[in-house]
Amino acid sequence: MYLSILIFPLLASFVSGFMGRKIGITGSHIITCTCLSISSLLATVAFYEVGICGSPVSVYLFNWVDSEFMSISWEFLFDQLTVSMFIPVLYISTLIHIYTTSYLAEDPHNQRFFSYLSLFTFFMLLLVSGANYFVMFIGWEGIGVVSYLLINFYFTRIQANKAAILALTMNRVGDMGLSIGFFALFALFGSVDYSTIFSLAPFMNETAITVISLLLLMGAMAKSAQIPLHSWLPGSMEAPTPVSALLHAATLVTAGLYLLIRSSAILEFSPTALLVITLIGASTAFFAATCGLVQNDLKRIIAFSTISQLGYMIMAVGLSQYNVALMHVVNHAFFKALLFLGAGAVIHSFADEQDIRKMGGLIKFLPFTYTVMLVGSLSLLATPWLTGFYSKDLIIELAYGQYSFSGIYAYILGSLTAGLTAFYSFRLISLVFLTIPNGIKNVYLNSHESNFAVIIPLFVLALFSIFFGFVFSDLFVGVGSDFFANSIFINPNNIAIIEAEFSLPLIIKLLPTILSILGATSAIFLYHAYPDFIINFTDSALGRKIYTFLNGKYFFDNYYFISAGLLTGNTISKVLDRGVIELLGPYGLASVLENTANNIAKLDTGVITTYSLYITIGILSLSFLVFAPLLFDTFIISEFRLIVIYISALFFALLPSLSNKH
Amino acid sequence: MNLSILLFLIGILGFILNRKNIILMIIAIEIMLLAVTLLVLISSFGFDDNIGQTFSIYIISIAGAESVIGLSILVAFYRLRGNISIRS
């Protein structure tokens, strides 16, 4: 049963991809949706068996690499962490398959799209269920490739090409770090199996563990879009909306989180790495939230919100609260998929318009979509007792509960980010749904609610966004819950849940919520009731500067990467590639060999007396070598050294004189 | 023994340091051979060994033959080229 969870999406992908011509559009819809549904049902059973009944499953298939003492096998591990990842991946994937049947109904490449979606699901499942880092890495690379294919789905559009290449190359940077991390893991532990590594981690050198953790973090940073490898995620919004919802909000970007959570037994032994992770996560959360404030593309706002939420999760990992990070992964997957699918529904019914400045007043035309978007936004900004509240609020409290520098840093940035999140979420709601209509009349007349294939996934996701956190919070993050058993390791020194739940001052606990409410009301106030203030503000010099700075994403792409990156590349190319390496490597080696060969060739003069000189010198050196031990009374080893010194001295003394002579 | 080694050195140096004259080279070779012969003679005398003395006679005769061959090549060479300089 456990393997069939993985196999069904793969089969669906093959059938839809290779036999798309035979089975037709409807056929591929039916087959992929059915396979994914069966997989989801099986995953539910797996969640019950493994998660709730607490019996992890390990499946050994066969050996993969068996070379000397490196032994890697195709082995799968279905523990509590894996099945907890199965739930969002498969549920959301299934719902998005259903959603896409309607969303891409008019597209000519339905089979290809569904094949990619199913293949992505398979690779994601492979990623979360591998029992060693290599199997996980196959899934990791697989989702990277499928992400490229899906962003580039409309491959005739230059923007899609650029975004896809950007995403792939940025991920390569992280993969490079991750690969080096695997090498380091193998060098240190002699194995890449989770079981071996995690049981040996406590006994290893802390510096080595830190290096490995940072390399793993590098992989996670690229996949989970953390500073400075974040800019592929907003770019990948070129993909069709279901892709954004499935890959770039709910599942793919959580692969990095999964890697870190899975590696908890390593990370816990390196406080330095944890500190770095916390700082990166908190900074990313704040950075992305401020950028999201001034984006005008409907999907890009949600994309920045995704980066921001991923920052929260990374922050939670850095604070050693892996179970809370996982809870936020799951919760975020539900409400972010909901937001994206809602945005897709809006875009679709509004003549494919994505600019929120050209929308407005859609509440009257799309009441259902408005409702689900509102639910998603409220869940996102951690309104009490909605799904997001149970993880996001807890992360901020846990940050304070650490009573450390990084904890306070994370708490302050986390609270500010909570306010900013509320602001941009409600800015989106007001500009799209509430304000006066700013679009074309014809578009409004043609706008309509979507059909059932869209409404049902939205409805289900809305239910999850409301109730999932309430139902599962005690299981995942409750005080003293042993749900995760051995799949997550938290160093007893780092447990902060008691502090966070029972000993924080009330104002600290309430601050994020207060800031959220403040942000939400001020957004509605500024964009709906009194829009003049924003207009006047951006007309002033300072306001314009701030707006440009934030809208340009802190000039990360334009300044830091493009110009600085090109400059660095130029320097490296000149100094390293065409400089040192070429001088020492191919060019230098060739010239040295050529000169030596020339010098030796010059010895061959054709004059008989010169040859006699060589013969004499040869005889002399030979007799010297033979009689050296007698003369100097040395051991055989020093005699051998003498030979080497003598011959080389002869060679080098002879060369210049001969080359000068002719 | 010292005399023979000295002679051998003279022969070698004469062979190496001489740059033009091919007759000198043949003479130097001859000197070296004679030096070796002398060495053999002295050694065999020292060891009281008749074989060495017999052997030195062989060497002398072969050295004579060798110098004859060298000189005749030289004469033939001179007829062919018109000079006997080493560097052409």
Q: By three-state DSSP, how is residue A170 classified? A: helix
Residue A331 predicted with pLDDT over 90: yes
Specify whether the CB–CB gap between A414 and A312 falls below 8 A.
yes
Rounded Cα–Cα distance for residues A71 and A237 (Å): 40
Does the beta-carbon distance from B87 to A607 stay under 8 Å?
Answer: yes
B36 touches chain A (CB under 8 A): no
Query: Which residue in B10, B15, B29 has the most chain A C-beta atoms within 10 A of its own C-beta, making it the best mutation to test that interface?
Result: B15
A661 touches chain B (CB under 8 A): no
Question: B59 to chain A nearest CA, in Å?
Answer: 21
Report the sign of the C-alpha dihedral through residues A212, A217, A218, A223, in that order: positive
CB contacts, 8 Å: B18 with chain A = 609
Residue A589 predicted with pLDDT over 90: no
Which pLDDT score, from 0 to 100, does residue A636 have? 57
Rounded Cα–Cα distance for residues A462 and A334 (Å): 8
CB contacts, 8 Å: A608 with chain B = 25, 86
Residue A320 predicted with pLDDT over 50: yes
Q: Which residues pair with A78 in a beta bridge?
A: A57
Query: Which DSSP letter does residue A202 get?
Result: G
Does the beta-carbon distance from B18 to A608 stay under 8 Å?
Answer: no
Does the beta-carbon distance from A609 to B87 stay under 8 Å?
Answer: no
CB contacts, 8 Å: B25 with chain A = 608-609
- Indicate the pairing of strand A57-67 with strand A70-78: antiparallel
Specify whether the CB–CB gap between A419 and A516 falls below 8 A.
yes
Does the beta-carbon distance from B87 to A612 stay under 8 Å?
Answer: no
Residue A148 CB coordination number (10 Å): 19
Q: How far is CA A7 from CA A60, A64, A135, A181, in A?
A: 15, 18, 15, 29
CB contacts, 8 Å: B86 with chain A = 607-609
What is the torsion angle, in degrees rounded to the nearest 10, for the CA atoms of residue A611, residue A614, residue A620 and residue A622? -110
Residue A657 predicted with pLDDT over 80: no
For every residue of A228-286, DSSP letters joined together read: TS-THHHHGGGS-HHHHHIIIIISTTHHHHHHHHHTHHHHTT-HHHHHHHHHHHHHHHH
Domains of chain B: 2-81 (1.10.287.3510)
Mean pLDDT, residues A553-567 taken together: 78
pTM above threshold 0.95: no
Does the beta-carbon distance from B16 to A616 stay under 8 Å?
Answer: yes
SS3 content of chain A, % helix, strand, coil (to 5): 80, 5, 15
Residue A49: exposure state from Cβ atoms within 10 A (0-12, 13-18, ≥19):
middle
Q: By three-state DSSP, how is residue B5 classified? A: helix
Which chain A residue is nearest to residue B17, measuring alpha carbons? A609
Q: What is the band of A580 on the pLDDT scale with cuts at 50, 70, 90? A: confident
Nearest to A127 by CA among A234, A314, A261: A261
Rounded Cα–Cα distance for residues A296 and A358 (Å): 10
Q: What is the band of A661 on the pLDDT scale with cuts at 50, 70, 90? A: very low
Three-state SS letters, A354-405: CEHHHCCCHHHCCHHHHHHHHHHHHHHCCCCCCHHHHHHHHHHHHHHHCCCH
Nearest to A92 by CA among A56, A46, A39, A141: A39
Rounded Cα–Cα distance for residues B17 and A274 (Å): 79
Q: By three-state DSSP, how is residue A502 classified? A: helix
H or E segment and range at residue A65: strand A57-67
Which pLDDT score, from 0 to 100, does residue A275 have? 94
Q: How far is CA A423 from the centre of its chain?
A: 26
Which pLDDT score, from 0 to 100, does residue A555 have? 80
Rounded Cα–Cα distance for residues A118 and A303 (Å): 22
Q: What is the band of A46 on the pLDDT scale with cuts at 50, 70, 90? A: very high
Residue A72: both structure tokens together = 């890697």
CB contacts, 8 Å: A616 with chain B = 12, 16
- Residues A387-412: pLDDT tens digits? 989 999 999 999 998 888 889 999 99
Does the beta-carbon distance from A613 to B19 stay under 8 Å?
Answer: no
Mean pLDDT, residues A611-617 taken together: 83
Which pLDDT score, from 0 to 100, does residue A635 have? 59
Nearest to A257 by CA among A226, A233, A228: A226
Rounded Cα–Cα distance for residues B37 and A77 (Å): 90
Q: How far is CA A407 from CA A71, A321, A326, A421, in A?
A: 40, 12, 19, 20
End-to-end Cα distance, chain B:
39
Question: A604 to chain B nearest CA, in Å?
Answer: 14
Mean pLDDT, residues A362-377 taken together: 91
Please tell me the least confidently modeled range out of A433-442, A612-621, A625-634, B18-27.
A625-634
Question: B19 to chain A nearest CA, in Å?
Answer: 7
Question: B47 to chain A nearest CA, in Å?
Answer: 23
Please tell me the least confidently modeled range out of A9-13, A159-163, B15-19.
B15-19
Q: Which residues pair with A73 in a beta bridge?
A: A63
Tell me the pLDDT of chain A averaged across its residues.
88
What ipTM was assigned to the predicted interfaces of this complex?
Answer: 0.71
Please list the pLDDT of chain B residue by residue as tens digits (88 residues): 888 889 998 988 888 887 777 888 888 888 999 999 999 999 998 898 888 889 999 999 998 998 899 899 888 988 888 877 766 5
Rounded Cα–Cα distance for residues A522 and A132 (Å): 49
Residue A366 predicted with pLDDT over 50: yes
Cβ–Cβ pairs < 8 A, chains A and B: 17
Does the beta-carbon distance from B86 to A613 stay under 8 Å?
Answer: no
Nearest to A312 by CA among A401, A385, A415, A423: A415
Work out the angle at residue A410's Cα, subtended by the Cα atoms of residues A409 and A412, and round it to the nearest 5 degrees: 65
- Residues A441-497: pLDDT tens digits? 888 888 888 888 899 999 999 999 999 999 999 999 888 888 888 889 998 888 888
Q: What percentage of residues in chain A have a pLDDT greater than 90?
A: 50
Which pLDDT score, from 0 to 100, does residue A554 have? 81
Which pLDDT score, from 0 to 100, does residue B23 have? 84
Greatest distance between any 2 Cα atoms in chain B? 50
Question: A606 to chain B nearest CA, in Å?
Answer: 9
Residues with Cβ within 8 Å of A428's Cβ and at least 6 positions away in sequence, in order, are A298, A301, A302, A356, A373, A377
Q: Which residues pair with A171 in a beta bridge?
A: none
A630 touches chain B (CB under 8 A): no
Rounded Cα–Cα distance for residues B60 and B52 (Å): 12
- Residues A247-303: pLDDT tens digits? 888 889 999 999 999 999 999 999 999 999 999 999 999 999 999 988 889 999 999
A612 touches chain B (CB under 8 A): yes
Q: What percentage of residues in chain A have a pLDDT greater than 70?
A: 96
Nearest to A13 by CA among A145, A132, A152: A145
Mean pLDDT, residues A167-181 taken together: 92
Residue A167 CB coordination number (10 Å): 28
Specify whether the CB–CB gap between A133 and A180 falls below 8 A.
no
Nearest to A351 by CA among A436, A424, A446: A446
Question: B12 to chain A nearest CA, in Å?
Answer: 8
Mean pLDDT, residues A230-242 taken together: 88
- Residues A208-229: pLDDT tens digits? 999 999 999 999 999 998 988 8
Question: A662 to chain B nearest CA, in Å?
Answer: 15
B16 touches chain A (CB under 8 A): yes
Which pLDDT score, from 0 to 100, does residue A485 have? 84
CB contacts, 8 Å: A613 with chain B = 16
Does the beta-carbon distance from B16 to A608 stay under 8 Å?
Answer: no
CB contacts, 8 Å: A607 with chain B = 86-87
- Residues A66-75: pLDDT tens digits? 888 888 999 9
Does the beta-carbon distance from B16 to A607 stay under 8 Å?
Answer: no
Q: How far is CA B22 from the centre of its chain?
A: 13
- Residues A508-517: pLDDT tens digits? 889 999 999 9
Q: Is pLDDT larger for residue A218 or for residue A648?
A: A218
Residue A592 predicted with pLDDT over 90: no
CB contacts, 8 Å: B87 with chain A = 607
Residues with Cβ within 8 Å of B30's Cβ and at least 6 positions away in sequence, in order, are B11, B63, B67
Does the beta-carbon distance from B19 to A609 stay under 8 Å?
Answer: yes
Specify whether the CB–CB gap between A488 and A261 falls below 8 A.
yes
B15 touches chain A (CB under 8 A): yes
Question: A625 to chain B nearest CA, in Å?
Answer: 20
Report the sign of the C-alpha dihedral through residues A577, A581, A583, A587, in that order: negative
Q: Which of B12, B86, B87 sits opposite A616 (nearest CB)?
A: B12
Residue A121 predicted with pLDDT over 90: yes
A613 touches chain B (CB under 8 A): yes
B24 touches chain A (CB under 8 A): no
If phi > 0 it is left, if psi is from -120 to 50 it is alpha, else beta; for residue A113 that is alpha
Q: Is pLDDT larger for residue B18 or for residue A204?
A: A204
